Amino acid sequence: MKRRIFIQNTAIASLASLAPINSWSTSKNVPERKFRIALNPGIIGVKANFAQTLDYAIQYGYEAISPFTQEVMKEYSDNQLNEILSKMKSHHITYDSTNIPVEFRKDKANFDSDFKELSKFCKTMEKQGATRMNTWIISSHNELTYNENMKQHAYRLGECAKVMKDHGIRLGIEYLGMRTLLSAYRYPFIASMKEGKELIGEIGQSNVGFILDSFHWYTANDTIDDIRTLKPEDIITVDMNDARVGFTRETQQDGKRELPTATGVINIKDFLQGLIDIGYDGPARTEPFNQVLNEMENEQALKVNMEAIKKSLSLVGL
């Protein structure tokens, strides 16, 4: 009860209700953009903590940031948290998603140990006003068959989702579409949107949806029509990426990508149009795992990243 009272007395109550924006265009003929451009600094090689990330977002025009929950748990007093939440509110900045702090892919002992701490992590997220968590599904396994792997994932992620639901948090799962990973281990597993839906169905919790990544959407050979089968609430967060030239769809490898529109290998126009068509209203970010970008100074990387995002949005008239 004390936690609920504290939440009501902070700035976070209004963060989730901020109106979607379309700040880069004012034309009445331009389609509405409900999703928010997010800054997750680590995945574009920018070194920054929670407060620094907020400052960068304000300076460079990002609309959502990572919640840095582990940092908040270790370093922030209530007063310090209230100050940063107030600053977020005044600049209309909301939250992106954060990684699940539970190792659910390995043995039971690892899972059980991490799972015991999940409630504490979720309480801090709730205190921050953050509502999205994410993870990825490895699309092959050396020991578990498809059905065995499905059963283990459904149970473990289901247990996590139940804890998250108590704190108003939604869990996004990301299918990995690369054919190279699908055949990397003995038994293939989930590697497409349709299979991801099957896992979400097996988990059986209403607060579970997708992390939708254009790279995996492309390598899985999914289409704009697949995106149109989703509802806005089915997507927790979005990753916008391009793929490398010189590789077929079947030979693309994870961990080596490009910023959106850098190569044109991925049809980012269709990807974004699908999101617009269904009215997706959550965060959207880049996740290029790109060495050139990672080696840039923070300021340059932030500019280059935002330029790529703006160029991508211009393809759909935004």
Is 138 a member of any domain? yes
Please indicate whether residue 11 or residue 157 has the higher confidence score (pLDDT): 157
Is 20 a member of any domain? no
pLDDT in tens, 284-307: 999 999 999 999 999 999 999 999
Is 233 a member of any domain? yes
Is 18 a member of any domain? no
Contact 162, 205 (CB under 8 A): yes
In which domain, by residue range, is 178 found?
2-8+32-314
Contact 133, 98 (CB under 8 A): yes
pTM: 0.90
d(CA 272, CA 318): 10
Q: Which amino acid is at 252?
A: Q
DSSP category for residue 19: P
Contact 203, 154 (CB under 8 A): yes
Residue 87 CB-half CA count within 13 A: 16
Is 19 a member of any domain? no
User: What are the tokens at 288?
Assistant: 């290029």
pLDDT value of residue 278: 97
Is 26 a member of any domain? no
CATH number at residue 177: 3.20.20.150
What's the average model confidence in pLDDT over 279-285?
97
Is 176 a member of any domain? yes
What total of structural domains would you count in the chain? 1
Adjacent-strand bridge partners of 64:
38, 94
Contact 210, 235 (CB under 8 A): yes
Is 61 a member of any domain? yes
d(CA 136, CA 98): 12
What are the backbone dihedrals phi and psi of residue 38, each rounded to the nearest 5 degrees, phi first? Answer: -110, 150
